[in-house]
């Protein structure tokens, strides 16, 4: 299985680069990469908007983690474009892809392993939910059906994924919490 960290956003609402925000002394990008590595989801691809991000983010990630860097073909185009780029990799035809945004610093390796155990044989994806809403940017996806359904549709992922055959994993809201605004760090 392969994993993809979506780290190409502008962080406008936060006012600073979310990937480099530290929680307990560890950057968000490193925290997410560590959780993926602990779940056995290496190599970890990290999609970034600019080449400078590779050096900045890479300096915070433990060297023993197997990271592959991917430059977004269209910087800041959004998560759907980054996911579609990743799904164009022929290696994924027989594999699943675990996606995750860079701004979920409390995500755990257990979430990723449980998603893999949750996905039903005939489902296109497994997505965590907190009882109130789905968290589509933390989905485990099967490339072929998802690629075919996403290719010509730019509606929000939460709507598109809800319409695809999917499994739901109920998860603690604290694990799924993302940071978008400075208040989210309090």
Instruction: Report domain extents, the chain.
Output: 2-185
Q: Whole-structure pTM over 0.85, yes or no?
A: yes
- Which one is the CATH code of 2-185: 3.90.950.20, 3.40.50.300, 3.40.630.10, 3.90.550.10? 3.90.550.10
pLDDT per residue of the chain (186 residues) written in tens, 0 to 9: 689 999 988 888 898 899 999 999 999 999 999 999 999 999 999 999 999 999 999 999 999 999 999 988 777 777 888 888 888 877 766 688 999 999 999 999 999 999 999 999 999 999 999 999 999 999 999 988 888 888 778 788 899 999 999 999 999 999 999 998 888 888
Q: Between the CA of residue 65 and those of 12, 30, 81, what are the distances in Å?
A: 29, 10, 25
Enter the tokens of residue 185: 């760090």
Tell me which residue has tokens 């936060």: 14
**pLDDT tens digit sequence for 93-102:** 668 899 999 9
**pLDDT tens digit sequence for 42-54:** 999 999 999 999 9
């Amino acid at each position: 299985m392969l994993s993809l960290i979506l780290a190409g956003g502008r962080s406008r609402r936060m006012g600073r680069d979310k990937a480099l925000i530290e929680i307990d002394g560890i950057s968000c990008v490193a925290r997410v990469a560590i959780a993926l590595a602990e779940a056995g989801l290496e190599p970890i691809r990290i999609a970034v908007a600019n080449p400078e991000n590779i050096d900045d983010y890479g300096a915070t990630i433990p060297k023993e983690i197997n990271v592959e860097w991917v430059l977004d073909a269209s910087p800041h185009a959004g998560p759907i474009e980054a996911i579609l780029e990743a799904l164009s990799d022929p290696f994924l035809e027989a594999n699943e892809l675990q996606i995750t945004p860079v701004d979920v610093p409390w995500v755990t390796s257990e979430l990723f392993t449980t998603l893999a155990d949750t996905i039903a044989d005939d489902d296109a994806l497994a997505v965590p939910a907190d009882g109130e809403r789905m968290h589509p940017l933390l989905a485990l996806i099967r490339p072929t059906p998802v690629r075919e359904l996403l290719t010509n549709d730019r509606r929000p992922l939460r709507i598109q994924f809800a319409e695809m055959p999917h499994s739901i994993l109920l998860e603690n809201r604290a694990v799924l919490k993302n940071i978008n605004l400075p208040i989210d760090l309090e």
